[in-house]
Structure 1
Amino acid sequence: MRLSPVVLAVLSACAVSANAAVYQVQELPEITTVRSQFGNALNDNGDIVGSANYVYNQPFDLDALDLESTVVTAAFTTEEIENIKIGNINAALNSKLLSFFMNPTSYEVQRVGDVQAFDFDTGEQVKIRDQGEVPTSREYLYDINNLGNAIGMATPVYQKQDFTPAATDDDPSPETVTLWVPQNPYQQAYLLNGGSRQALPIPYAENGGGFSVAQKISGNNYIAGSGSVGMSDTVVEQIETNCTGDSAPIAICQANYAGSYTERALVWQLNSSGQIGAPVEYGFLGPEINEEGISLTYLSRALSVNNNGVAVGYSSYTDKSRDIYNQVHATVFHEGEVSPVVDPLEWISSSAVDINNENIVVGTAYKNINGTTRSKMFVFDYNTNTVKYPTGFFVSSGTMPTAVNDHGMVVGAGEVFLSDSATRRQVAFLYDIAADTFTDLNTLLPCNSTYNVVDARDINENNEIVATVVKSVEGRDSLGEVVRDSAGNPVMESVARTVLLKPVANGTVDDCSSGSDDGETYERKSGSSSWLMVLLVPLAWMRRRYF
């Protein structure tokens, strides 16, 4: 394998290791309270932030649960309800309660905050919005810069509230009910540093509080994201008509319209006094078409921003003359203007996911290859307005980059084939723009590595990489207790774990071909796509909202 001069220089500057290989896996502090963990970003100081899901022994407020309500009696048996009353809750019943609270059928049921934010460098949970002992908000950390400023997002905190509907002719004496009421807004982005936190200003916060999402923070504190900038007159009229507070709390009624806000790419900036001002709002690529019989929703989202204030992401594109209606395509947001990256006639859709301080943009574009829609990485030079599409592991290999550093090193996930098999597997990759080399990160680890690195989430200027591995561990039930088979042996399960890949001084690629007779040349260095999809489902839509 050929390494670029940049990589060789970085490796030579690192501390000497007694082992070979180009990267060593450094395990992070163990987090025993959650099952699956996903690091999203790291800075040059080695601080790693991210989120985790499936909380063991998830806390519930069972005192607030009306065990005689039809919602409960329909979900649990008489025996289970009796056990809940006396607090006799085993793992099976706890798991059923968790499912019940995670899929509520009414606002009489508590919401569950089953995703938590973490500082993976210390293993400590970071509480963003919900400070309660029984969390009801899902919370995520997405990025952190060298100043220690981190950005995250949280869904609503739900609070218990007694509510008495207005009397009607049919029900002149309505009963008071206890409801879990969302606190506006329904999504809120925050800037955090140590014990301090600031909510990012939302341009339009009426009729339910609006929303904001922050995705990336630059070294000089530009923040890329999106949020609500308005709402159509029709929806406002519906809210004013329906959300009177007579039949339900106004906040619950407004929550039904949370998806009706106009969303636009936003770029905030933390000023020298430590305050965040109103964001710069950006539009979208294609012209808006307002014709009878055509109902389209236009949006834009910024996913990353660099020190030059150049943001990238995606936005709606429409061209009636070419029968292209409301696709989303990779977009550059800069100085109040939006500009495209890829040709919308060639690609079905696209998204720019990161930009470095040299104005090099990476992202994913989708097209039909051999009858199947595949994702292909692009590298766009904003300085010269040129774009290229690296092949990846092979022509039809799906490739999804996640980050690029100032050395032109790109990380992400791509598809490979197992030898003598038509089965595709997802592995983490490292792409060197200058050398045009595309490498499975697993091949840069020692031959005796027990890890399957399936996704690389970020790379800093030291070429350290935060990655997701699939690891076999002792299985635990919903209470966090080890699951054993009939013989008393622990039942093993595959879980997602976050690791730090550290460059090795003067590292060379290990030759792992000797001593192997199983013919599975990718056995050591691949992780199953199906396993990864199962593990990522709870976090997929919020980790980096590509589409």
Structure 2
Amino acid sequence: MIADQSDTAGNNPRNGKPFLVGLNTTGDGSNSFLQATVFVPSETFDATAIDPDNTTRQWSPVTIENARIKSGDDFIYSNTYASDINKNLVVLGASKRRGDKRENGAAANRMFLAEISLGADSGYSTPTARYFDELNNNSGIFFRGVGGEPGAINNFNEIVGAVDAEQSTEYFGKKRRQRGFIYPFNGRGSETERMAIFQGKPWLLDDLTNGGKYSSQNNQYRIVDAADINDDGVIAATALKCEGGYDSTGHNSYCGNGQKKERVVAVKLIPIANEADRSIETRGVDAPPVERKGGSLGWMALILLGFFGLRRNK
């Protein structure tokens, strides 16, 4: 991504240059770690330079702090990576907890963001991971120990991806159900008007497709992942589709009383242009049906109970 911090760092030689993100192998004694990394362009970066001997370094790897596998002498994560970066140099990534470092019943994929600020000269700040659950005080959809998969971030700092939609224990249990989300992060490049659309907080995308004149049509879908978002707010996502609509608008509603098959489909989520037509109606959670059946004891059991009763009275 081409850096654009002209408002504060117009004279920085790295401004206007491409910053890359991903992961890099770093050594620690006999160990090799795959860790989230930002590749910072050199002050003399030249995209047209041809260096057959590879002697001129165009980028330098910088490991993202607080996303290192090792903390002191303790191994916290099995791997970490950065998946996206925007022109404001806000980095998106995740850290995979080790299996023996569970939190709230799961060794989750912890999503994070990190910011890089260019100085007035040639300097830049060291990126440091800030995890979604901590940024949101372990509340709402980013509860303590939440896991997910980061998708993308646009230039208005609107982040999409997939997040755990339940807090069940995965340790000796089933994998948590996940749903697509959007998170309007308030940082460099964020716009107040766009933040206000989301009330300045993260949402499950299923809540944003509920209610209004499109509710009936949208009730055929449950968004399970969001892969990308552009600067117009259009989201590329994956959904489960129940032809004709789910039994209710609930997050966990059945499809045809559990008898119909859902399909996995690609969907495009388009923001509603008319402000008067926008409203957020959160979906409820349906209580699973409980079937009760009466039971009875056979005549042989009654005889045995009577016999045991007589034995106690002797």
If the length of structure 2 is used for normalisation, what is the TM-score? 0.55
8 Å Cα contact 1:410/1:432 also seen in 2:
yes
8 Å Cα contact 2:81/2:95 also seen in 1:
yes
Tell me the secondary structure at the aligned position of residue 206 of structure 2. Answer: helix
1:38-437 to structure 2, matched below 5 A, reads 308-320=17-29, 325-335=31-41, 336-341=59-64, 342-346=67-71, 347-348=76-77, 349-367=79-97, 368-370=101-103, 372-383=106-117, 384-385=125-126, 386-391=128-133, 393-417=142-166, 424-434=176-186, 437=201
Tell me the secondary structure at the aligned position of residue 503 of structure 1. Answer: coil
* Pairwise CA distance, 1:439: 1.3
1:453 and 1:310 map into 2 onto residues whose CA distance is 31
Tell me the secondary structure at the aligned position of residue 207 of structure 2. Answer: helix
The runs of at least 4 aligned residues of structure 1 exceeding 3 Å deviation read none
8 Å Cα contact 1:376/1:398 also seen in 2:
yes
From 244, 256, 271, the equivalent of 1:503 is 271
* Pairwise CA distance, 1:307: 6.5
1:442 and 1:219 map into 2 onto residues whose CA distance is 33
2:146 and 2:209 map into 1 onto residues whose CA distance is 22
* Pairwise CA distance, 1:512: 4.6
1:390 and 1:430 map into 2 onto residues whose CA distance is 12
8 Å Cα contact 1:356/1:405 also seen in 2:
yes
With over 3 angstroms needed to count, the CA separation of the structure-2 counterparts of 1:366 and 1:219, relative to structure 1, is same
Tell me the secondary structure at the aligned position of residue 453 of structure 1. Answer: strand
With over 3 angstroms needed to count, the CA separation of the structure-2 counterparts of 1:380 and 1:219, relative to structure 1, is closer
1:445 and 1:316 map into 2 onto residues whose CA distance is 41
Q: Deviations over 1:16-75 (max 9, x none)?
A: xxxxxxxxxxxxxxxxxxxxxxxxxxxxxxxxxxxxxxxxxxxxxxxxxxxxxxxxxxxx
2:283 and 2:206 map into 1 onto residues whose CA distance is 11
2:181 and 2:204 map into 1 onto residues whose CA distance is 5
* Pairwise CA distance, 1:337: 0.6
Task: Give structure 2 stretches of 5+ with no counterpart.
Answer: 4-14, 42-58, 118-124, 134-140, 187-194, 245-258, 289-314
Q: Deviations over 1:333-381 (max 9, x none)?
A: 1222101012332442101000001111000112222364210111110
1:361 partner amino acid: V
Taking only aligned residues, the RMSD between alpha carbons, in angstroms, comes to 3.1
1:518-533 to structure 2, matched below 5 A, reads 518-519=286-287
Which residue number in structure 2 is paired with residue 131 of structure 1? none
* Pairwise CA distance, 1:450: 1.7
Which structure's relative contact order is higher, taking Cα pairs within 8 Å and 6+ residues apart?
A: 1
2:237 partner amino acid: A
Q: Percent identity at matched positions?
A: 26
1:337 partner amino acid: S
8 Å Cα contact 1:364/1:378 also seen in 2:
yes
8 Å Cα contact 1:463/1:503 also seen in 2:
yes
* Pairwise CA distance, 1:219: 7.9
1:377 and 1:418 map into 2 onto residues whose CA distance is 16
8 Å Cα contact 1:393/1:416 also seen in 2:
no
2:129 partner amino acid: V
* Pairwise CA distance, 1:416: 1.4
With over 3 angstroms needed to count, the CA separation of the structure-2 counterparts of 1:387 and 1:219, relative to structure 1, is closer
